[in-house]
Amino acid sequence: MLPTAELHIHIEGTLEPEMLVGLARRNGVALPTSDLDELRAKYSFADLQSFLDLYYDNLPVLRTSQDFYDLTSAYLDRAGRGGVRRAEIFFDPQVHLRNDVPLAAIFDGITSALGDSDISAELILCFVRDLGPDAAMETLRMALPFRDRFIGVGLDSAEVGFPPAPFKDVYELAAAEGLHRVAHAGEEGDPEYVRQALDVLGVERIDHGIRAMEDPELVARLRDEQVPLTVCPLSNVALRAIDRLSEHVLPKMLDEGLLACVNSDDPAYFGGYLDDNFAALRSELGMTEQQFATLARNSFDASFATAGQKAAWK
């Protein structure tokens, strides 16, 4: 299995139907159905929002630090079997706070699972962009007492209509705290979202970024500045950002000299983990081992690991 870093993975998006049903039982949370086939049948999406609706509906089953521990351990076990050596994991604290889960329970559960794993893993706190910049600022301030438990901030959830620029102040505070900064941009949003994330938020990586390929000037900039792009091929097909995998822009990104890498985003919902993404890229796009080696190298280069760690993995 090709050793890789996974830099775009939402821990909540690793909630497999079996664990969803198990946690609902354990915590006495009602689900519309506990039938696994019926649950899986819902995992079919028209766009990002239709996915987010189901993703948020499922999250009230996560209640205790043990739940977060179990979720994170299951992901790390599965990812490790697929070649992942380094994981930089997103989580959405605002959603869990809204479900009355204390921030300490979220951090305790996730970070103890990270500590128990052989994979080098860190946490990135994401702001839910459709809840707005004031809520993001309040969340970052609440999280600062846990500053040593996460390495960066990100911006996720509904993109179109929620551009990056209004989050300038919260990203400035994150920078002042020495946190890394990333943001989802150019998943459904046009190239202007990518430009704002770079110019206004000062992000070090773009999550997705596929629509940047529509703008040759932006492509040249991404190449010249070697801005990492965490691309999620199976996610893009599942959410219909791209019609079929055979039309994915990833090979073109590599041809253009962009620092793109492959990631699974929400593997429980989109048909697979990192190794499943690579397998699909091989069978449906005809990507080669040489391209995979470039993607794996890019993933370590794009990670926030230390130079020593990167040298050991590559």
Q: Which of 1, 3, 7, 89 is nearest to 313 (CA)?
A: 3
Looking at the DSSP bridge assignments, the partners of residue 184 are: 207
**Which does residue 48 touch among Zn ion, ligand ADE, none (CB within 5 to 8 A, set by kind)?**
ligand ADE
Q: For the segment 174-193, give every residue that binds ligand ADE (CB under 6 A).
A: 184, 187
Q: Which of 265, 280, 298, 304 is in the footprint of Zn ion by CB under 5 A? A: 265
Residue 243 marked as a ligand binder: no
Q: Which residues are catalytic, by number?
A: 187
Alpha helices in the chain (DSSP H): 17-27, 36-41, 48-58, 65-81, 93-98, 103-115, 132-143, 168-176, 191-199, 216-224, 233-238, 250-255, 267-270, 274-285, 289-302, 307-313
Residue 13, binding choice from ligand ADE, Zn ion, none, Cβ under 5 to 8 Å by partner class: ligand ADE
Residue 253 three-state SS: helix
What minimum distance in Å lies between the beta carbon of 58 and ligand ADE? Answer: 12
DSSP, collapsed to helix, strand or coil, labels residue 148 as helix
**Binder to ligand ADE among 11, 13, 205, 277 (CB under 6 A)?**
13
96 in a known ligand binding site: no
Residue 266 known to bind ligand = yes
Nearer to ligand ADE, 230 or 298 (CB): 230
Q: Among residues 91, 266, 277, 304, which is the contact residue for ligand ADE, using CB under 6 A? A: 266
Return the structure tokens found at 38.
């019926």
Q: Residue 236 in 3-state DSSP?
A: helix
Query: Shortest distance, CB of residue 83 to Zn ion, whole angstroms?
Result: 20
Residue 265 DSSP label? B
Q: Does 16 bind Zn ion (CB under 5 A)?
A: no
Give residues in contact with ligand ADE (CB under 6 A). Answer: 10, 13, 48, 156-157, 184, 187, 235, 265-266
